[in-house]
Structure 1
Amino acid sequence: MNLPPDPTATSEKTAAPRAHSAADRASVEERILAPLNEAQRRAVTTTEGPLLVLAGAGSGKTRVITHRIAWLIQHEGVAPWNILAVTFTNKAAAEMRDRLTEMIGDAARDVAMGTFHSLCARMLRRDGEAIGLPTGFNIYDADDQARVIKGFLKEDDLPATGETKPSLILGAISRAKNEGLSAEQMEDRAITHHEHLIARFAKRYAAEMRRLDALDFDDLLLEGLRLLREAPAVADRYRAKWHYLHVDEYQDTNRIQYGWVRELAMGRGNLCVVGDDDQSIYSWRGADIRNILDFERDWPTATIVPLEQNYRSTQTILDAAHGVVSNNEGRKAKKLWTERSGGHTIPVFGAFDQDDEAAWIVRRIEELTAARPGKAPEAAPTPHVLSEIAILYRTNAQSRAIEEALLRAMVPYQLIGGTRFYQRREVKDALAWLRVLRNDADRISFERIINVPPRGIGEKTIELLRAADAARAGDGVGASYGAIVASAGIGELQGISPRARTALAGVAAIVERLRSRLALVDLPELLDAVYSETGLRAHLAAEGVEGEERWANLLELRGIAGRFLELEPLDALDRFLEETALVADQDALEVDLDRVTLITLHAAKGLEWPAVFISGLTEGLFPHSRALEDREQMEEERRLCYVGITRAKARLYLSYALRRSWGAGDGAPSRFLEEIPEELLESANEDDPRTGEAAAFGRGARGFAAARGGIGGGGAWREGSGDVGAPDGSFRPSRDLEARRRAYGAGARSGSLHVPDADGIDELPDDEDGDLDAVRPVGRVPAWLANRFKGARESTQSDAPDTRTAQALPASGVRRVIVPGERTFRDGDRVRHARFGEGIVVTSRLTRS
């Protein structure tokens, strides 16, 4: 593997020759511009000044960036090392470099390219001393950060739950950092007890990270920006180096990244940002959609080039996505189109619960792959392979039911966002050893490896070491944690048992031997020594089959280390530790495996599959419950739905479950289903073969295409459908969650009976002490609502209330005799309450009272 050079390094090379003759220029223009459409060509050839490329989903933004860089080098004569391209994932950077290499050859290696975090890390390695940072700092991931916070909680005798849960504390600290707030500013702004608590933890956390010579992911960005602002000579050097800046996924940048880009672009102003405001879905981790919406305000001379031609999806899929996202107010007007006119309608399945939903998804997958007898989808004249199929969901908790259904059907899958390779215990142990060797102050890594493999060093010993470390820090003594371990090993620390002292001496000796080889051996050889001298290899060999699997992971880690052989040993170690710490979920996606992909909607951004399932389209789940009363959050949920829909190339399947075993209980179909044009959708629920009628919920309710109420027997009705008793076109259930809940009976409680009136939905009674004895059946369910309730059937009989009899009238309109001891009321009965008036029985049960 040819490792890309450090993008922050300087170069003595001369600029690449530009095409001078007319023939040469024509050849370059033909090769670079011919594959592009008119809008893409404009984006590629607009080289000077600020440029915003509004690149809709599947519009070829990566092609635009790579062709633009090639144009700059081969047509404009710009030296490749004077060009910077910033991405959000290593995967995107690698793909971009590979494409560029195909176009311009080895010159692509000299283009500075990487993620925000990796570029900042390398700038800080090279120039961090200008702002007082050690160049040998370690990068802490979420697990390392949690260990720091847990140490504080233990010192304070606080639980790692509730408001002091480490992930919640770290989340609050991260949000503050993304807003550019220091720990001191957090304290100044704190009002509540919890805010003061978080601010105090933030202050301690910052001090401890400095003492450990460690930076977390947010610190890399903050310190990278501070470097440019507080070290003018360093900033000028980078501005002089990078004449042309390209930023991918600009809509996902946060305040700090925005500042970093602006600092670098202040020199020549040749800034090209590519993004799509309709795909801004990361506000929860600091992304600010205003960065892209306000680009023209920030750069008044900017050129705007929209890319609206889509090369991925059918027009049906694009129209469905537009139907959803066009309801947002905070967006730039645009609409995707494709030459792939038409497309197959989108099946929508309504399930009773998440297990029913998962089973339906698996059945459809088996049909797509011809693993199940039945009619193959028209879009797949030849069967799909499993790697062409993805299942997307809003939250990780949803994957459980899907995984179980896939396992039962023996369908292979890969779960993205599960336990990643670099998070596996044995891999983290090996990396912790490397970090200890590189930085003697790294207490968190020391405490991880000090008893790995087991050496008889217990928690009591670790507490004594930690206390000694804290005492020396309080005295201002700069001794490293490694020195403390070594001193304990020779008896200088009181309270250590002889057995533990011997073990600590052994650890100190191993560290000293391995550290002496850091600058002498290549990285794979260093890992071999770590595996051997620490006892990791022997320990895993004694663990049987599980140990063999874990040993295979360590061998895989060694193979990855082999990619850095072109660098000097210490540089290789630093780059290796950086890249393993900064790897993203998408980087773990293995596209060559013939497995179905399970992935969250957030993690799926930037990916595509021929067939996509979006599950869990239930109000309160997607859109998420926290967005229901917040317009900005609802608009982000809508953008997330847009992202999910546009991952599909040919086939899109949508599903929801009315009931889940976790979360907020029963729910209604998502409003996003209602926002998709009706003619694009079809019901995937089948008629009950025994009765020829629409079965309830996920067992085959009909009527989605004919009336929106038919999805799964629990969907929303079509507004203005004209069905007898249906709300008229002015009724907007998608705009009124409470109305929807009342209409579906979700969360209805005993005694809370209700009935829709001609204008919509009546209010639920405030008094929930209604006596069912006072309820009298009065008639049948209106036709427009009949399929909503289990057991309900359509009827053309009179809707006149009958208050003269105690006989309940079920939805079919056929009288039944009440038998003593039997349930007096059945689901779907229309009744009249003496106090609350008419209503429909959603559910009833016989009690001993």
Structure 2
Amino acid sequence: MQTARSLLPSVAGPGSVTACRFVLTAEISSIYKRHGRVRKIHNLLFVPDLEAAARLNARLAAIGNIESDGRPILGLDARNLLEILLEQAPEGFLVPAHIWTPWFSLFGSKSGFDSIEECFDDLSSHVFALETGLSSDPDMNRRVSALDRFALISNSDCHSPGKLGREANIFDTDFNFFAMRDSLKAPGRGFLGTLEFFPEEGKYHYDGHRKCQICLDPLATRQQHGICPVCQRPLTIGVMYRVLELADRQAPFYPDGAPGFNSMIPLSEILGEILGQGSATKGVMEQYWRMITRFGSEFALMLHTPIEEIRARSSPVLAEAVDRIRKGRVIRKSGYDGEFGVITVFEAGELAEVRGQHGLFAEQAVRGRKQKADRQALPIFSRPAEPVVVEPATTESGLNPEQTVAVTCDEPMILVQAGPGTGKTHTLIARLARLLAEGGIAPTRVAAITFTNRAATELADRLARQVGAMAEPVFVGTFHAFCLHWLRQQRPGLVVVGEENRRLLLRTLFSEADRHGFAALQKEIVDYFLERAVGATEPAPTAAVRCYLEGLTGRNAIDLQAVIPFFVREFKGDAEFRRQVTGQVSHLFVDEFQDLNSSQYELVRLLAANAKIFAIGDPDQAIYGFRGSSPRFFYDFQEEFRARRITLTRNYRSGVAILAAASAVIDHNPTPDHQPRLPLVPRQDLVGGGEYYWAASVQAEAEFVVRRIEELVGGISHFSINTGRGGDQPGRSGFSFRDIAVLYRSSRQAQALCEALTRRGIPLQVVGVPPFYMQDEVKPLYFWLRAAAASELAMTAADYLDFLRDLSGIGATSLQRLEASLPLGDIPDFFQQAGRIELSAAARKILLDVEAELDEARQQMAQHGVVPFLSRLLAGLDINPALPEVARFLDLVGSFGRDLGALARYLQRNAGGTVYDDQAETVALMTLHAAKGLEFPAVFITGLEEGVLPWRVPGRGAAGEGDIEEERRLFYVGLTRAREFVALTGAATRPIFAQRSQQQPSRFLAEIPAALFTRVSPDGPRRKNPAAVQLKLF
């Protein structure tokens, strides 16, 4: 906004240079994973005007934080960044920045690519210019024939006005954005060349280790096999080495008319060398301004003024220096591993006599010197072969011996205890596939039950990939879906009442209840169903509950929480219903068996009378006791049905140290059958590691998490590298953002973590929270899209009423009449049914108008896409299009194109709480419960404090032993989400319910052997690894 207020569009004609012109640019840091490797690429974006910049900003703001100073960090593929630029600012262009820098560049040795096409894929033709960076020059780049088609530009790292022009681009064209762009597209037609540093001055020209003070040229690095001779760790490979890896020429090649370049040393540095003083000292600056006044400008002196004129008008010493620089006869001490190189003109001692006897303007010329040899001729390198990764051995079927037993066992009742990372889902699918392949059982008689829709979708997809069309008739779904499948055959049209429709029905049945009374009614209903799911006998309903149940019956409806108990009751009491179900279910597979509650276990018991059961789970991962689940059913099933118990212990996920820590923790929980646990066996050569940090406050805890994340991704900026927060961290780099999860016991812990990550510009996703589009500013757009897609994704009465509440003209009385008269459940013909209800004339007209508008909207969206329609709708709904949430929503909508149905399904699926997106290049923040079933290379578990983990509700006293055991299982689940790295953190003070509480470390920390995890001191070094230290810039 400040830029927009300060600048005016350029309207002057060609050749008018009366004012300083600015080109709108931004540098974006993309950190993401592509082709199995973490990539860190900096790209420059150029746009022609402020309107294009605003469109681009709106789109990028929907993806991540672009308000951080300097260089925003996005978990966005560089190819997709280019695509967004072409969509939002088609006249703009993208230039990969400092393309050879090791850490953050297109060809960087640490995290870059080997070709333009590998990075930008199908959009590679839209890239026509490359920025060489301080550590390379055109001569180096022109040894790579793949770069022949590109213009090579140079820009200053101008952190202050004095740095402007140290590297620059020279044009001879019209003075506007489009002429500049077009001349870069066709070098030689207006783009004349660049002014450059000598590349050896760049911080990454040669290879080395700054900490070890080792600097090596590429040949020496090759002889050392890339290993530092001092610390025996990999060297930071510099630009020259990397150029030689990709070069296919022994010398640079320039076609006729190709732009040239000049290498320079800043005048202040030349004068400082001649005078023997620092370049910013008073004496040097006096001479500097004297030369500028005399010759017009630094460029005029260094590039154009004849040497004899310099000698006559200033000094033979300065003239000799300029002459040597123009001819490239300088002394080069190459930079390496973040240390700037040094370029000088004169040999040591060469100036002593002149300075001592004659001063700067001595008439005596400097005595002759031998010309320094040209830059060392270095051969083309072949790239070292990638190491071969040996996968753990399995049988030909892809199963280990224990999994094979589980898949091939012929017992009718099988109970598999599958520890974390042991291939539970793989084993379940393999057994299902084997059963279907044998052909003795009709697929329609096979049912697989999971606990979440996400898990059911994954299981169904994986089964289909393995057995093809045979998977289609198999029932795969949740317990609720299974029960409803059969109940609706008995009672067609049965309506399921979820949370929204429950509120709607309660408002109809208890219209006189105030807000507090209504909340109490809801709690009474929920408590009744929870007790019914947990208890051995059905609880007696209160008067309010009985009224609600009667209201459901009269509407052919069933509460979602009553589906399973109702199925069990029908199964027991209705012989015909029981015959139908048992006749069609001969094989039942149950996933996550440890999470069953009493109703679910009763359902399995009833089906086990006629069906074969394959149950799989892990009682040590039972974490849903708050909703009635209990691991005791796992053991009851084995005892009651004499099930064959098979244990999977070969862990394919976590490193040795992580598994040892997790096992030590869970061993403090007793087993109901009093049998010792079989230890998890690591099946990969991964040690893994962990550390523990006790912070002074939640803010300090969050800052520690941010610091470690920077290390894990190898630094997110050059500042990270230069301050030891990334880069050369042994065993602590090579991760992408999506490899990292931050877990916590309560969602209240997320705020401080989100603030710290956002401040540092690290992209993140918070899982399980209401999505941004359910906020008041954007919610009307959500309901408009849902209503427009109602023919593909039915809406309930509650949905339509929420939609109508955002429209002006429909009053409270009309809404109450609609609530009382509309049926529960999906309403495919809402407007027809609403038209038969007695409403005011104004309300009727609004409904007719909305129906017509929705019909028109569907046609417009089918022809032109969803975004144009929504953009026009904003004014009618009085929604500010400049709101970040609105821009973000339009970006989300745009990714679905014209597919309104797919968009509506996505929005509905996430409306209750955001679902983890495993493709997003973001750090994931979620509760420990939400992390169940996921895995990450690196995991942070925060809030390891008494009262937080283990959780204790304030005011309820100490937690019982059963509660502690479940909290320990929850911690165990968190630990076993990690593959390579775990960090445990806690805070000495934490705000809990608006009170600042003094916290004590969690008892679970004492259960981890001290030798396994490193304790990190807030003020001193870590015990095992040297602390990252502040490094010198020069």
TM-score by length of 1: 0.63
User: Residue type of the partner of 2:470?
Assistant: A
Contact 2:453 2:478 in 1 (8 A): yes
Matched, 1:667 2:999: yes
Which position in structure 1 is the counterpart of 2:694? 350
Contact 2:739 2:938 in 1 (8 A): yes
Q: Secondary structure at the match of 1:661?
A: strand
Q: Secondary structure at the match of 2:441?
A: coil
Matched, 1:370 2:714: yes
* Whole-angstrom CA distance in 1 between matches of 2:917 and 2:626: 27
Matching of residues 323-722 of structure 1 within 5 Å? 323-331=664-672, 333-334=676-677, 335-340=679-684, 343-371=687-715, 372-373=720-721, 374=724, 380=731, 382-420=733-771, 425-426=779-780, 429-430=783-784, 433=787, 443-452=797-806, 454-463=807-816, 469=821, 485-486=834-835, 501-507=841-847, 539=876, 543-546=880-883, 547=886, 549-550=888-889, 562=901, 580=908, 588-626=915-953, 628-663=958-993, 665-688=997-1020
Which position in structure 2 is the counterpart of 1:735? none
* Whole-angstrom CA distance in 2 between matches of 1:399 and 1:469: 42
Contact 1:541 1:548 in 2 (8 A): no
Contact 1:213 1:441 in 2 (8 A): no
- Structure 2 stretches of 5 or more lacking a match? 1-392, 1026-1034
* Whole-angstrom CA distance in 1 between matches of 2:547 and 2:1014: 57
Which position in structure 1 is the counterpart of 2:13? none
Q: CA deviation at 1:283?
A: 0.9
* Whole-angstrom CA distance in 2 between matches of 1:621 and 1:644: 14
Cα deviation, 1:557-593, whole Å, max 9, x if unaligned, reads 89777569xxxxxxxx9xx79x95699868x211111
Contact 1:52 1:304 in 2 (8 A): yes
Q: Secondary structure at the match of 2:991?
A: coil
Contact 1:58 1:312 in 2 (8 A): yes
* Whole-angstrom CA distance in 2 between matches of 1:593 and 1:440: 29
Which position in structure 2 is the counterpart of 1:145? 502
Q: Secondary structure at the match of 1:650?
A: strand
- 1:514–1:88 distance in 2 versus 1, CA, 3 Å: same
Cα deviation, 1:110-137, whole Å, max 9, x if unaligned, reads 32212222333333344334xxxx34x2
Q: CA deviation at 1:380?
A: 3.9
* Whole-angstrom CA distance in 2 between matches of 1:103 and 1:31: 18
- 1:508–1:365 distance in 2 versus 1, CA, 3 Å: same
Contact 1:89 1:584 in 2 (8 A): no
Which position in structure 2 is the counterpart of 1:120? 483
Which position in structure 1 is the counterpart of 2:581? 238
- 1:319–1:381 distance in 2 versus 1, CA, 3 Å: closer
* Whole-angstrom CA distance in 2 between matches of 1:181 and 1:469: 37
- 1:509–1:541 distance in 2 versus 1, CA, 3 Å: closer
Q: Secondary structure at the match of 1:348?
A: strand
* Whole-angstrom CA distance in 2 between matches of 1:39 and 1:561: 47
Contact 2:831 2:847 in 1 (8 A): no
Greater CA drift, 31-40 or 270-279: 31-40
- 1:77–1:464 distance in 2 versus 1, CA, 3 Å: closer
Contact 1:139 1:581 in 2 (8 A): no
Query: Greater RCO between the two (CA within 8 Å, min separation 6)?
Result: 1
Cα deviation, 1:437-471, whole Å, max 9, x if unaligned, reads 8999965344323334x1312224434655x659x
- 1:432–1:383 distance in 2 versus 1, CA, 3 Å: closer
Contact 1:618 1:657 in 2 (8 A): yes
Which position in structure 2 is the counterpart of 1:172? 527
Q: CA deviation at 1:553?
A: 5.6
Q: Secondary structure at the match of 1:450?
A: helix
Which position in structure 1 is the counterpart of 2:652? 311
Matching of residues 746-761 of structure 1 within 5 Å? none
Matched, 1:257 2:584: no
Contact 1:211 1:441 in 2 (8 A): no
Q: Secondary structure at the match of 1:284?
A: helix
User: Residue type of the partner of 1:603?
Assistant: A
Matched, 1:274 2:616: yes
Contact 1:469 1:481 in 2 (8 A): no
Per residue, is there more helix in 1 or in 2? Answer: 1
- 1:554–1:200 distance in 2 versus 1, CA, 3 Å: farther
- 1:643–1:542 distance in 2 versus 1, CA, 3 Å: closer
Contact 2:688 2:979 in 1 (8 A): no
Q: Secondary structure at the match of 1:57?
A: coil
Matching of residues 93-112 of structure 1 within 5 Å? 93-112=456-475
Equivalent of residue 34 in structure 1, options 384, 397, 406 = 397
Which position in structure 2 is the counterpart of 1:60? 423
Q: Secondary structure at the match of 2:425?
A: helix
Q: CA deviation at 1:632?
A: 0.8
Matched, 1:248 2:591: yes
* Identical aligned residues as a percent: 29
Cα deviation, 1:134-182, whole Å, max 9, x if unaligned, reads 34x2552x34434555667762235269xx4577445423412423699
- 1:457–1:213 distance in 2 versus 1, CA, 3 Å: farther
* Whole-angstrom CA distance in 1 between matches of 2:449 and 2:563: 15
Greater CA drift, 148-157 or 670-679: 148-157
How many residue pairs align between the two structures?
606
* Whole-angstrom CA distance in 2 between matches of 1:379 and 1:584: 42
Cα deviation, 1:35-59, whole Å, max 9, x if unaligned, reads 2111111100014401000000111
* Whole-angstrom CA distance in 2 between matches of 1:157 and 1:208: 20
* Whole-angstrom CA distance in 2 between matches of 1:207 and 1:552: 46
* Whole-angstrom CA distance in 1 between matches of 2:793 and 2:490: 18
- Structure 1 stretches of 5 or more lacking a match? 1-29, 188-198, 474-479, 565-572, 689-699, 706-849
Contact 1:426 1:550 in 2 (8 A): no
* Whole-angstrom CA distance in 1 between matches of 2:901 and 2:832: 31
Q: Secondary structure at the match of 1:625?
A: coil
Contact 1:321 1:642 in 2 (8 A): yes
Cα deviation, 1:514-562, whole Å, max 9, x if unaligned, reads 99x9xxx99x989999x999x9787469642455654566677897775
Cα deviation, 1:228-268, whole Å, max 9, x if unaligned, reads 34443343333222321111001111222222233333213
Q: CA deviation at 1:609?
A: 0.1
Asked which structure has the greater CA Rg, the reply is 2
* Whole-angstrom CA distance in 2 between matches of 1:126 and 1:527: 42
Contact 1:421 1:427 in 2 (8 A): no
Q: Secondary structure at the match of 1:156?
A: coil
| CA RMSD after TM alignment | 4.3
